[in-house]
Structure 1
Amino acid sequence: MTSIRQMQIFRSVARNLSYTRAAEELNLTQPAVFTQVRHLQENVGSPLIERIGKRLFLTEAGEVVLASAHDILGELERLDMRLAELRGMTRGRLRVCVVSTAKYDIPRRLGDFCRMYPGIDVSLTVGNREELLSRFAANEDDLYVLGTVPKGIEADWHQYAENPIVVIAAPDHPLAGKSKIKPSDIAGEAFIMREKGSGTRIATERFFSGEGISPTVRMELGANEAISEAVMARLGISVISRGSARLELQAGKLVELNVNGFPILRHWHVAWPKGKRISVGADAFLKILLEEI
């Protein structure tokens, strides 16, 4: 008999197209994930996933089961939401997904939420922009926090906080401490960049393109911590969210270069699928995010 847990596991595998990543996401072992998907296939009577080379693909039956999984799990989540409303926030669940640069700010706000509503079970998922948009498309969370809401998705959203983008360097960099640095003065520097498609990378490339500059990218890294370490190791300079390098800047391990046109003032946005009825827990957390505006 097909179980709800099998549906949840299959949905994760189908989204990640990886047993290993699904296991990490669900805090299970890879064999346990594989076994549950195998049992689901046996119950359905058709292969749901096929391996071609090193990649996994959904079969036609897999696509059908995935669509049903979204419907079934979505209805259960709506049931939980309605019951939570009846319980008056004494129990319930809040799921928040954020881009990696927001993980330095959101935990503090979630802490405020948890102190106000200790009966609500909170989960926080951190990923890059591509991973967040994939989860958004599958409606897997209550709220999504990112730098810029893409124009191509159907979303309701609010802007809630500033997210300045700054140029960072090692403390002994020749330009450290200088004022009114021209963008052309850093054009020849080696840059440590976020991966293509990240909000920070998009904002950086847009700025330099407007200045007629094509920066030299020495290294692409997918984590802000790794970028800070690379800059501290004098492998280059970087453009990064000020909040993600806050501790290193305060400790003097990194410095913010005074480059004309920086900081690039951006904002954080909280979004959810358009038309979605957000839960009472999500609505309460939304109020916490917006109260500082």
Structure 2
Amino acid sequence: MATSAPTKLEDKNISNYLVRHLTLRQIQVFEAVARYQSFTKAADALYLTQPTVSTQIKSFQESLDVSLYEQIGRNIYLTEVGEQVAFACREILDNLSNLEIKINDFKGKRKGRLRITAVTSAKYFLPLALGEFVKSYPEIELEFTVCNRDTLLKRIEENLDDLYIMGQKPPSSLDVVDIPFTPNPLVLIAHQDHPLVGQRNIPLSEIAKQPILMREIGSGTRSAVEDKFSQAGLKLNVRLTLESTETIKQAVFAHLGIAVVPMHSVYLDGAKGPISILDVEGFPLEKELNIVYPTGKSLSIIASAFLDLLQQKGAQYFQQPRE
């Protein structure tokens, strides 16, 4: 009975082949290209020249003997196998980073890298928590990314960071550890001269008539607001879609409409600022921030220490109303 010829990967004995032919530098470079989806940005991040990055990626792809990406113009798109290779490279680099942290800790040095991604609601307190944390770990490298919910969920799937701070519960389809952290109420705001300011228990039907400023599609705040009005059988009168809470607050100040924002973002302006919180039925929307990381992820000493800080006293860094 005839047997099929071995594939190229079988012929090379893939596990031993990769150990002999791949280098850690190639793994690092490909992970950076996959993360930034750009040769130029990867080169900048690694302090390499773009020709060096191109050479490393060419050798890496030839060693694997598979197509890892497509380049259309200046854009890089990973193939299906490229996504898998990028995930594996990320795990290798994470394990090496964790080993480096443990060795430094053994030597009495507190070095390492901490990567945090958070939704915009968290950006009002997280820098304060990080500032406190680096007093104990002054030599660590920090990466702090702020994005909307959809982008954050994608980053979790790609295992890009150590910890994630998100405003709504992650979907049940995502296998993660979810730690409820602190309340994150959403409030309706208007310019202090708006006719609704000072009214009590304003009906949602009245709010639905007002021009409203909304976050972009994919934002957790937008999803929460749309769900609230949809449940009441009401359609929002969206005037503008904007991509940051601060831009929305500026638009409210310019009398362009009302908006829903995290209560903590209003506190930064002080109690006597130009923006007022409206008293609306069903508001504030009671939400909370959650600390999330993939199930089975081995947190580094640095990430575990920062998680402990957030659980113990992180909520104290939320801004309170100022007179």
Query: Normalising by structure 2, what TM-score?
Result: 0.78
- State the Cα deviation string for residues 28-67 of structure 1 (Å, max 9, x = none): 7xxx675344122332355643234675322477456424
Between the aligned partners of 1:27 and 1:187, the Cα distance in structure 2 is 50
Provide the residue aligned with 1:75 in structure 2. Answer: 95
Between the aligned partners of 1:170 and 1:159, the Cα distance in structure 2 is 32
* Aligned-CA RMSD value: 2.8
Cα distance, 1:203 vs structure 2: 1.0
Q: Is 2:55 aligned against 1:39? A: yes
Q: What is the percent sequence identity of the aligned residues?
A: 39
Between the aligned partners of 2:108 and 2:50, the Cα distance in structure 1 is 39
Q: Flag as ranges the 4+ runs of structure 1 deviating above 6 A.
A: none
Count of residues in correspondence between the two structures: 289
Provide the residue aligned with 2:184 in structure 1. Answer: 163
Structure-2 change in CA distance of 1:137 and 1:150 (3 Å): same
Provide the residue aligned with 1:129 in structure 2. Answer: 149
Secondary structure of 1:110's counterpart equals helix
Amino acid at match of 1:272: Y
Does the CA-based 8 Å contact 2:40-2:50 persist in structure 1? Answer: no
Q: Is 2:171 aligned against 1:150? A: yes
Does the CA-based 8 Å contact 1:97-1:141 persist in structure 2? Answer: yes
Cα distance, 1:242 vs structure 2: 1.3
Cα distance, 1:205 vs structure 2: 1.1
User: For structure 1, which runs of at least 5 residues remain unmatched after alignment?
Assistant: none
Between the aligned partners of 1:109 and 1:254, the Cα distance in structure 2 is 26
Cα distance, 1:233 vs structure 2: 1.1
Q: Is 2:83 aligned against 1:66? A: no
Between the aligned partners of 1:49 and 1:37, the Cα distance in structure 2 is 14
Provide the residue aligned with 1:291 in structure 2. Answer: 312
Q: Is 2:273 aligned against 1:244? A: no
Q: Is 2:222 aligned against 1:201? A: yes
- State the Cα deviation string for residues 110-145 of structure 1 (Å, max 9, x = none): 122122333433332222222222222222221111
Instruction: Give 1:224-263 correspondences, 5 Å limit.
Output: 224-248=245-269, 250-263=271-284
User: For structure 2, which runs of at least 5 residues remain unmatched after alignment?
Assistant: 1-20, 316-323
Between the aligned partners of 1:202 and 1:111, the Cα distance in structure 2 is 31
Between the aligned partners of 2:43 and 2:249, the Cα distance in structure 1 is 29
Structure-2 change in CA distance of 1:257 and 1:249 (3 Å): farther
Amino acid at match of 2:296: G
Query: Normalising by structure 1, what TM-score?
Result: 0.86
Secondary structure of 2:128's counterpart equals helix
- State the Cα deviation string for residues 150-195 of structure 1 (Å, max 9, x = none): 2221111211111010001111111011111111111111111111
